[in-house]
Amino acid sequence: MDVREVLKHLDHTELLQTATHDDIVKLCDDALHYGTASVCVPPSYVKLASARLAGRLPVCTVIGFPHGYNTTGCKIFEAKEALENGADELDMVINIGWVKDGLYAQVEDEIRALKAVAGDHVLKVIIETGLLTDEEKIQMCEVITRAGADYIKTCTGYAAGKAEPHDIALFKQHIGPHVKIKASSGMTSIQQGADFVAMGCDRLGSRLFIRFARELGVE
**Mind telling me the catalytic residues?**
91, 153, 182
Please name the residues in contact with 195: beta carbons below 8 A apart, sequence gap of 6 or more. 165
**How far apart are alpha carbons 81 and 213 in whole angstroms?**
34
CA-wise closest residue to 86 among 56, 60, 62, 50: 50
Question: Residue 132: what residue type?
Answer: L
End-to-end CA distance of the chain: 16
Please say whether the beta carbons of 203 and 182 come within 8 A.
Answer: yes
Q: What are phi and psi of 157, to 5 degrees?
A: 90, 0
**How far apart are alpha carbons 211 and 215 in whole angstroms?**
6
Strand pairing partners for 38? Answer: 11
Please say whether the beta carbons of 186 and 162 come within 8 A.
Answer: yes
CA-wise closest residue to 64 among 135, 126, 143: 126
CA-wise closest residue to 117 among 63, 75, 79: 79
